[in-house]
Each structure stands twice: as C-alpha cells, then as structure tokens.
Amino acid sequence: MKKEELLCYIWLSLRCGAGSEEASHLLDAFDGAGNVYAAKRDELAAVCDNDATVDSLCDKNMSMPKKILDFCIKNDVGILTCDSEYYPSRLRSIYAKPIVLYCKGKMRDLDKNVLIACVGTRNCTEYGRTMAYKMGAELAMGGAFVVSGMALGIDAISQRGALSERGYTIAVLGSGIDVIYPPQNKSLYREIAEKGLIITEFAPGTRPYARNFPIRNRIISGLSNGTVVIEAGKASGALITAEKAIEQGKQVFAVPGDVGSDTSDGANDLIMQGSKLVTCAKDVLCEYELLYPHKIFTEHIKTIHFVKKNGADITYITDEDETEPQEEKKRGLLSLLRGRKKKNHENEDAVLSASEFEELSGKRGAGYAAAASETAKVSATHEQVDEKPAEPPAEIPDDLGETEKNILRCMKSAMTADEITVQYRKKFDADANEAELLSALTMLEIDGFLESCAGGKYRRT
C-alpha cells in the first residue's frame, strides 16, 4: 500500500469515527479508501444516507492524517488497515470492524493461535484478584494468548498473570496509543509493549472518554476465540464484552462467585443464562485443544491452588507440589512456578522490526513497529519466614516494573502500606498515586516478593 492510500484510510477512520459500520460499507461500495476520498458528494450520498457523515466526508483536508502518520513513524507505532495481510481475520467478520488499528509491541500471527479474553470488574475482591491472576497464568501455561483492556482490577491482574508465565498478552485500549489509561498501569503498559501487543482504533492523542470503552469492547471479544468473565456485577462493563461476544458467535465462560455478592451477580447470571462455568484455564482450553493441537497444551498447565495458612497468609501450590516435601510448598506464586522448567510456547510467528515500518507501509498494506525484544526473567525464591533473624533481602529482579522495584528499595524492615507510601513519596515520587502503590503491593505479595506479617505490615522475602 502506498503512503497516499494509507493516509486515506486514516482520513476515513477520522471522518466516520470509531465503532462505525459506515466506514466498512463505504470501503465495499467504493473498493478502497482512496476511491472514497476521491468520491464527490452525490456519489457519497448515493451509498450513505447519513447527511452528517456525507458532510464530514466532503472535508478532504489531509493535515490531521499526515500528522498522525508522522507521529506513528517517529514513535514506533504500527498502523494496520483492514486490507492488510497482518490484520486479524477474526476482526474482519465482526460488525463495525475497525478499519485502522494503531499498534505497539510484538506482532504475532493471531489467526493461528487461541486468544482468550479475560474481563471483569475494576473493584474486585481478594477472591477476584486471585482468580484473575490464576486464570491469566494458567492460560499462558497452556499456550493461549490473553486479551484484555488493561483496566484496573480483573483486566490488569489477568494480564500480569499471563506475563508472569512469559505468555503473550494483548491490551486493547479505549484511548489513543500514546495515552496510558489508567495511569496507575504505566508499568504494565510498558511491559506489554515490550513482550506483547497494544492496539487501539482511536487515533493518537484521543483521551479516554467513557463512551470509548463500550466501543472498544467489541474488539476485545472480536479478537478472541472466547471470553472469560471473572467477577462482574450487574452493571459491569465486562458484561458488554460478554454481550458482544455472544452477538459475534463466540463462546462465553464465567467464573462463579459468592451468591448475592454485588461483585459476582453479573458473572453468576451469565452462568444461569447458559455460559459455561469455569474454575481454571483447563475448563476453557479443553474447548479448543482439538482444533489447535499444535498450539494448546493443557498438559503443561500446573493447576494453581490457593491455600489459607493460619487464617492469614496465602500459600500458592500446584498439583505437582502434592508429592513434594512440605517445605517446598511454602513459596510465592511466581517463585514457585519460575523455579521449574518452562514450556516454551514461542513459535515461528512473524515478529516485525521497527525498521520494516516504512517498507510495510509501502508494500504490504500496513506499517508495523515492534518494541524491544523480550528480556530474560530473573527467578526469585520465596522461602518460609520464621522468628529467627531475617536473612538479607534478595536482590531486586530486573524484570519488575519500576514502581515495584522502588517499593522494594524502600523496605529495609517490616512496614505498613501507609509507611511504604510515605517512604516512596519521600525517596522517589512526591506525587505517587496511592492506588497505584497499593496495586503494586498486592502484585508483589502475589508474586512472592512480599509477605504479610503481624500489625498489617509487609516484609520482603
């Protein structure tokens, strides 16, 4: 595709707006964005009965599309058009398919893999956080790609779970590719851009308006083979994603929650309405392993169990641990799983380098820029802590986000969340968001780098 044609696609996406079926209709009627751009008012009116859209299409100003293309080239942002060979075929068949996708990260062959959406409430319970992390990690173990919206709560935690197993995850934004929302997930955004893929149909600079997210949700479900709802109330946006999945003919799964709980009513209702009840990734992936025998390996999944010890601390064990000495069970989730031999699900799927962007824009119908290659993960050990003098804290792994690293640097002894926040703001960032720090503390505890102790304090392991 020539640069001029690519600019016409960007122009058309701006004129019709995100989530518009009119753009697809016009492309079919005129056989390409360039022909839509060249069409006169009477020709446009003959195929489009929306006067406002016709008026917008008569504006042929290309200054904004050119600015967007320049921004993408300078910032390693790829542009996929709906006629590109790299455009996901599952999206081509949905209603109001996005005619342009802005991308950042590592592009894999999405059509040949199983993609599972994990969605749920932003205001999740401890149970929801546990199940989201477990689901994301186990899906990655089994070879699936995890798709979500990078929102606070279930979305982000399931994606962190996938990344913990070196899995591939896709974040679908409701804002421009350069607008990180929520800002608390800045470190997650960077990790996904490095190891997975970030996509959006919204032009660079688009703010995260509330109306954008229901529009975005059809892409999450459209990309995916199936959608898992993990803890969602009756008003949760996750139910919009589930509804879109059903409209698109995709399977919907739901993790059961407490009966009568406001955070679980939506997911429980889905089960009552016929969605498949699931409690682990094997329940999901068994639906796809026969169709994708070279991609899905449920036998690689070490089912994660969550066990309460003394009514307080949570210990994470897998099926394999049942035959191991008792002391081997008392580790954090990631240290336990990282200590074992990994199953490498990487394959020969194409990864496009940033240097290929302009060539693809000119020859293959899409420009695509890939971020830096995946860095090696550093394993860490989380041993049981007794009343004996503590050993010096382990070194801080390089693969943690900057927020998590700085929290660990603050902690020379057991500290409460409030004390950690005060020290963090004093040493690193006076304006640090408390919610972001609490989220990071939760993930560090799940990952086994911190543990809870008396007095509501945390200490490094």
DSSP E strand stretches across 40-114: 78-81, 100-105
Q: What amino acid occupies position 75?
A: N
Quick one: pLDDT at residue 250?
Answer: 95
Distances (CA, A) of 297 to 113, 280, 300: 12, 14, 6
- 417, 445 contact by CB (below 8 A): no
Q: How far apart are CA 284 and CA 135, in angstroms?
A: 10
Asked: is 110-300 a CATH 3.40.718.10 domain? The reply is no
Quick one: pLDDT at residue 459?
Answer: 86
Q: How far apart are CA 82 and CA 89, in angstroms?
A: 9
pLDDT tens digits, 35-55: 999 999 999 999 998 899 999
Quick one: pLDDT at residue 414?
Answer: 86
In sequence order, the 6+-apart residues with CB closer than 8 A to the CB of 448 are 316, 331, 332, 333, 334, 335, 336, 380, 382, 461
Tokens for 224, please give them: 């995916």
Quick one: pLDDT at residue 413?
Answer: 85
- 201, 101 contact by CB (below 8 A): yes
In sequence order, the 6+-apart residues with CB closer than 8 A to the CB of 157 are 124, 129, 132, 133, 136, 443
Quick one: pLDDT at residue 352?
Answer: 40
Quick one: pLDDT at residue 422?
Answer: 82
Q: How far apart are CA 106 and CA 365, in angstroms?
A: 18
Tokens for 146, please give them: 């995890």
Q: What amino acid occupies position 142?
A: G
Question: Taking 50 as the threshold, does the pLDDT of residue 277 lie above it?
Answer: yes
Quick one: pLDDT at residue 378?
Answer: 25
Angle between helix axes 126-141 and 154-164 (nearest 10 degrees) is 40
Q: Where in the chain is the domain with CATH 3.40.50.450?
A: 110-300
Does an H or E element contain 266, and which?
helix 265-272
pLDDT tens digits, 334-383: 443 334 334 444 433 434 443 443 334 333 333 333 332 332 232 233 33
∠ CA 102-105-111, nearest 5°, is: 80
> Left (φ > 0), alpha (ψ -120 to 50) or beta: where does 166 sit?
left
Q: How far apart are CA 209 and CA 200, in angstroms?
A: 14
In sequence order, the 6+-apart residues with CB closer than 8 A to the CB of 418 are none
- 80, 368 contact by CB (below 8 A): yes
- 181, 173 contact by CB (below 8 A): yes
Q: What amino acid occupies position 35?
A: N
Question: For the chain, give me the number of helices (H) and strands (E)?
Answer: 19, 15
Quick one: pLDDT at residue 347?
Answer: 39
Question: Taking 60 as the threshold, does the pLDDT of residue 130 lie above it?
Answer: yes
pLDDT tens digits, 167-209: 999 999 999 999 999 999 999 999 999 999 999 999 999 999 9
Does an H or E element contain 200, and which?
strand 197-200
Q: Would you give the distance in Å from CA 307 to the centre of its chain?
A: 27
pLDDT tens digits, 206-246: 999 999 999 999 999 999 999 999 999 898 999 999 999 99
Q: Would you give the distance in Å from CA 297 to the centre of its chain?
A: 21
Q: What average pLDDT does this structure show over 12-34?
A: 94
Q: How far apart are CA 412 and CA 392, in angstroms?
A: 9
Quick one: pLDDT at residue 431?
Answer: 77
